[in-house]
Chains A and B, each alone.
Chain A
Amino acid sequence: MNAVAFQALWSHWRRHKVQLATLVLGLALATALWSGVQAINAEARKSYDRAAGVLGQDQLDRLEAPGGVTLSQYIALRRAGWDISPVVEGRLSGDDLRLLGVDPLSAPPQPALTALAGDSAALATFLGDGFLLVAPETAARLQGSDLPPRRIAADVPPGTAITDIGTALRLLRTDRLSHLLIRRQQAMGLTPLDQITDLKRVTPTDQSSLAQLTDSFHLNLTAFGLLSFAVGLFIVQSAIGLAFEQRRAAFRTLRALGISLRRLMALLAVELGVIALVSGAAGILLGYIIAAALLPGVAGTLRGLYGAEVTGTLSFDPLWALSALGIALLGAAAAGAQALWRVARMPLLAPAQPRAWAMASGRMIRMQTGAAIALLLLSGLLALWGDSLMAGFACLAALLIGAALALPVLLLVLLRLAGRFTRGPLSEWLVADARQQVPALSLALMALLLALAANVGVGTMVGSFRATFVGWLDQRLASELYITTRTPAEAEAIRTYLTPRTDAVLPIWSVAITLRGAPAQVYGVADDPTYRDHWPLLQAQPDAWDRLAQGDGVLINEQMARRDELSLGDPLTLSEGWQLPVVGVYSDYGNPQAQLIAGTDALATHYPDQLVLRFAVRADAAQVPALITDLTACFDLPDDALRNQAEIKALSLDIFDQTFLVSGALNVLTLGVAGFAMLTSLLTLSSLRLPQVAPVWALGVAPRQIALAELARTALLATLTWALAVPVGLALAWVLLAVVNVQAFGWRLPMQLFPGGWLWLGLWALVAALLASAWPVWRLVTLPGGQLLRVFANDR
């Protein structure tokens, strides 16, 4: 019985293969985009956790000394019973590799070393001749290097090599340990550390974790994924709705034959479940492909922006696949719920004639409009008075849903306005018919609106971020050359050498202080045009730079101003007996910590012992390469001691632009999904709209002309939707920049407008809409005349 009924229901899909394909493809696309973005985020987070979690450095207290820890200091503590583990850290500049030396015999358990735990011979070689544990991409990069042999360990962060402490000390040519990790659990009755060592115990702060830094980036990706999913669901909803409407007759017949409503519902649910599973599987495959294709770009972006090493290759996580399948089922359920509900309420002997399923009544439009106004109001209220990240997201959601719901009525209004300017019967028919189609197309148009608004919104945000980033680079990299020296003597020698040869040698130095219980960094800045001209201040007292130079004021970063609710003129105690008023606030993107700028002389007075080892050099840009050559020759400086500003800037921007690759790719994908939603809706309509088209045809309008009219109408609707999407997108960008970002990260990115992008987007929307309508129109106009004539057959 079940099987027969199921077959009867399923026969619909056999006859409507395109509809089935639409449904499957829509759900697969929705799942793919959502889960693809999730996979990228998960991969990136895994990388951060790995980087932070190597050796539990993110959690365990450590013992340090300014010049490093000696072997005898380490052994003395071990012999006193303290369970501590030595770590040596360094850079091999020749190979651009971070080297981490550990003692596997005392190191805390960690994923990167699991490769050794199971493999005895490996541990023996690790301790003996030595090898480097590296991520696959690092291994590929190091091919042919004369470093010790490499072995792949997936849990090692890219750009890092983990090796035995003996090997690391040898490679780094040092005998000092960087620090000692203190295991949490210690034996009973030990002598307290401060009685047996003068090493300094440091508790790690999770303030500077990469995850926190990169959250905004992932937030944007997630928002994109969610949006794509929502857009995809519009397709699914329209396909399911259509299929259910077309099967009303079949439902009625089945019910009349004695199939209970409960059973019918169950069968339909099973059918939907099967389709969802198949689509979900396809979506997983597609999502994986999308994620794998986008990941290298994302990795490049994160490396450039935040110095976060993210592996460029995607690993397959069964849990991820499972959750993607779950999302597909959930999406199908959400999209099918309305249809099922309608079947449940359908009277047993309801008229079986198919009607335009989505022909919403005027009452429906009014309800939607009411809801839209309420949501938009709510969104506005949240934007103004919301005070948390959740409020920011709620504001976003209310804005987007409200805008989507308001679309039909706005389109109707616009079309009514357009109707006033039309001349001639055909164009009047065109506009009137467009109005008549709005309710039927509203879901597809809402999808288009969301996709376009997201494009505008995210484009604006990324663009604003880029512009801000360029400014930020100019601030940070105003000088032409950056030098890091190793000793005070070398610093002095280089400074003496450079002073007559360059425009200015500016010390870069900072003091770590604790301000209001949180760590903060105070930079000493010389009175130089480099800063006055290049360091734009968000707020400042008129004589801020003068007061800074005189030691009568301090600049603070935006995060600190927002977090501690400081404003200009507020006094700030930097250390005991040193109080300065805030004279300015500057932007400091990407830094989670509080930062201050004080006059270099004032800072030196209060911290006379702080070493100044880094310099920024102002010089004629053309002379910089020669200067680098001279410096390297005179002072035998290592490769990484000198950094050329132009190179850094170009590289940073280059890498930043990869962001656009990723968001650009996602933009195209969402737009594609929205276009597909249009296609399915138009396909549906094309068969239902014969009663509208037949009279026009009968009046003698050529099929070619009808086709043109159809295309023009679609273009008109798409253009109007685009026009409405631009303000929605700008509102979206504003919420992202001014509400979500501030709540999440403590800084506000200034919003900039990119009208050129909107025009391009409008063009793309037009192209997508025309492509979507091409097939339905072709189908309509190639209909045999007999079919069009048949429309009149039932006329009485």
Chain B
Amino acid sequence: MIARAFALLWICLATAAGAQGFAGLGTDADGFALPSADSALTFPADHGAHPDFRIEWWYLTANLRGDDGQDYGVQWTLFRSALSPEAGSGWQTPQIWMGHAAVTSASTHRFAQKLARGGIGQAGVTTAPFDAFIDDWQMRSTAAEGDPLDALTLSARGVDFAYALSLQAQGPLVLQGDQGYSVKSPTGEASYYYSQPFYDVTGTLTLPEGDVTVTGQAWLDREWSSQPLANDQQGWDWLSLHFDDGSKLMGFGLRSSTGAHFTSATWITPTGQTTAYGDGALTLDPLETVEVEGRKVPVRWRVTLPERDLKIDTEPLNPQSWMGTMFPYWEGPIRFSGTHSGKGYLEMTGYE
């Protein structure tokens, strides 16, 4: 799962570009580390921050059902963006943190944003115990044993919403792409990328109408890199799908200015076995476009993965799931039906 922030935070905060063409050489022109296909991920160390990489996030989405019988979606994201490749301390640390949180229902989409710099204790990620936080928003490990991400509490609040959830993983961590090395363009831009898609969730949403007890499932994405989008890439259409039979699918398409999609997908069995699919295996075709905040956004998609006999149509819970944050994008819960059915999350960026 990737936000427009992937593109925009870099554009916004990076002091210089110049990363292209350095893939595999270890560092880019500004000294940031670059992902390499050869290095294996190690846990729990890699749950923490990687200040020598330009950009990183802890990205959680949950499909929930309330005791009021309604469907809800919850988003909790912590982004890290580095101005230079060092951790630093105090006010002049080069690490900038940004939090996004949202609660979506069929009729409302409430969201909030936080910004903070690292080094002063306002935001950051610690690994022992695992604790990712910005202000009072928190994703904290409650796992007594095993991987720290196996059990989490999650909280955030905005002007008109708050939530407190506890998450229990029902399966293992999943490495995306090639053992966690995820290629993002035909020219080789890549990131480190792993997920925990097996969470069961219980908790409470606090809304202006009152508290709602919720249960459901959640998906955590962890990703970090130093490379910007390829020059001709305009945005992303990204999906995380929970099938009714317990399988999962992560799929994305990066839209180039020529209109073509560079696609990638990972099929995840209920026990966590993965199959990665490279460019072209997955197809994404918009079915319906609606006007969202003055722009046209395709909110219904046909998703096919012939190698898995998958052909589904997605339907948003709320077509107006617009994150009107500093870098705006569409992010919201979806349902899907066709050869397979289930729920998931859709993210779309770069629709100006």
Cβ–Cβ < 8 Å partners of B206 in chain A: 188-189
Minimal beta-carbon separation of B131 from chain A (angstroms): 12
User: With an 8 A cutoff between CB atoms, is B159 at the interface?
Assistant: yes
Check if A125 sits within 8 Å of B15, measured CB to CB.
yes
Check if A128 sits within 8 Å of B83, measured CB to CB.
yes
Check if A128 sits within 8 Å of B91, measured CB to CB.
no
Q: Which of B116, B121, B158 contacts A106 (CB 8 A)?
A: B116
Cβ–Cβ < 8 Å partners of B94 in chain A: 127-128
Name B's interface SS. loop
User: With an 8 A cutoff between CB atoms, is A245 at the interface?
Assistant: no
CA distance A87 to B116 in the complex (A): 15
Q: Which residue of A lies closest to B138 (CB)?
A: A79
Q: Which of B6-14, B63-71, B262-270, B280-288 contacts A (4 or more CB under 8 A)?
A: B6-14
Cβ–Cβ < 8 Å partners of B16 in chain A: 121
User: With an 8 A cutoff between CB atoms, is B225 at the interface?
Assistant: no
Check if A188 sits within 8 Å of B160, measured CB to CB.
yes
Cβ–Cβ < 8 Å partners of B15 in chain A: 121, 124-125, 128
User: With an 8 A cutoff between CB atoms, is A200 at the interface?
Assistant: no
User: With an 8 A cutoff between CB atoms, is B306 at the interface?
Assistant: no
Q: Which residue of A lies closest to B101 (CB)?
A: A187
Minimal beta-carbon separation of A734 from chain B (angstroms): 56
Q: Which residue of A lies closest to B12 (CB)?
A: A120
Check if B115 sits within 8 Å of A106, measured CB to CB.
yes
Check if A79 sits within 8 Å of B136, measured CB to CB.
yes
Cβ–Cβ < 8 Å partners of B11 in chain A: 120
CA distance A105 to B83 in the complex (A): 14
Known: A128-B94, A166-B92, A188-B159. 6 other contacts (CB 8 A): A75-B122, A79-B135, A81-B135, A106-B115, A165-B91, A188-B206
Q: Which of B84, B116, B162 contacts A189 (CB 8 A)?
A: B162
CA distance A277 to B16 in the complex (A): 51
Q: Which of A75, A80, A128, A187 contacts B162 (CB 8 A)?
A: A187
Q: Which of A124, A188, A189 contacts B13 (CB 8 A)?
A: A124
CA distance A73 to B91 in the complex (A): 15
User: With an 8 A cutoff between CB atoms, is A164 at the interface?
Assistant: yes
User: With an 8 A cutoff between CB atoms, is B259 at the interface?
Assistant: no
CA distance A185 to B136 in the complex (A): 16
Q: Which residue of A lies closest to B156 (CB)?
A: A187
Check if A188 sits within 8 Å of B117, measured CB to CB.
no
Q: A75-B121, A80-B136, A124-B83 are in contact. Are A187 and B159 (CB under 8 A)?
A: yes
Name A's interface SS. helix
Cβ–Cβ < 8 Å partners of A71 in chain B: 120-121
Residues of A within 8 A of B (CB): 71-72, 75, 78-81, 103, 105-106, 120-121, 123-125, 127-128, 130, 164-167, 169-170, 185-189
Task: For chain B, give the interface size range.
Answer: 20 to 34
Cβ–Cβ < 8 Å partners of A81 in chain B: 135-136, 157
Check if A78 sits within 8 Å of B14, measured CB to CB.
no
User: With an 8 A cutoff between CB atoms, is B146 at the interface?
Assistant: no
- 0/1 interface trace, chain B 88-99, chain A, CB 8 Å (1 if under): 001110101000
CA distance A130 to B90 in the complex (A): 14
Minimal beta-carbon separation of B110 from chain A (angstroms): 10
Check if B136 sits within 8 Å of A75, measured CB to CB.
no
Q: A124-B13, A128-B84, A164-B91 are in contact. Are A105 and B157 (CB under 8 A)?
A: no
A-B contact pairs, 25 of them (CB 8 A): A71-B120, A75-B122, A78-B136, A79-B121, A79-B133, A79-B135, A105-B96, A105-B116, A106-B115, A120-B12, A121-B16, A123-B12, A124-B13, A127-B83, A127-B96, A127-B117, A128-B94, A130-B92, A166-B92, A186-B159, A187-B112, A187-B158, A188-B158, A189-B162, A189-B206
Minimal beta-carbon separation of A454 from chain B (angstroms): 54
Cβ–Cβ < 8 Å partners of B135 in chain A: 78-79, 81
- 0/1 interface trace, chain B 133-166, chain A, CB 8 Å (1 if under): 1011000000000000000000001111110000
Check if B13 sits within 8 Å of A120, measured CB to CB.
yes
CA distance A80 to B112 in the complex (A): 16
Q: Which residue of A lies closest to B122 (CB)?
A: A78
Cβ–Cβ < 8 Å partners of A106 in chain B: 115-116
Check if A188 sits within 8 Å of B96, measured CB to CB.
no
Cβ–Cβ < 8 Å partners of A186 in chain B: 159
Q: Which residue of B lies closest to A189 (CB)?
A: B162
CA distance A120 to B16 in the complex (A): 10
Cβ–Cβ < 8 Å partners of B120 in chain A: 71, 75
- 0/1 interface trace, chain B 105-124, chain A, CB 8 Å (1 if under): 00000001001110011100
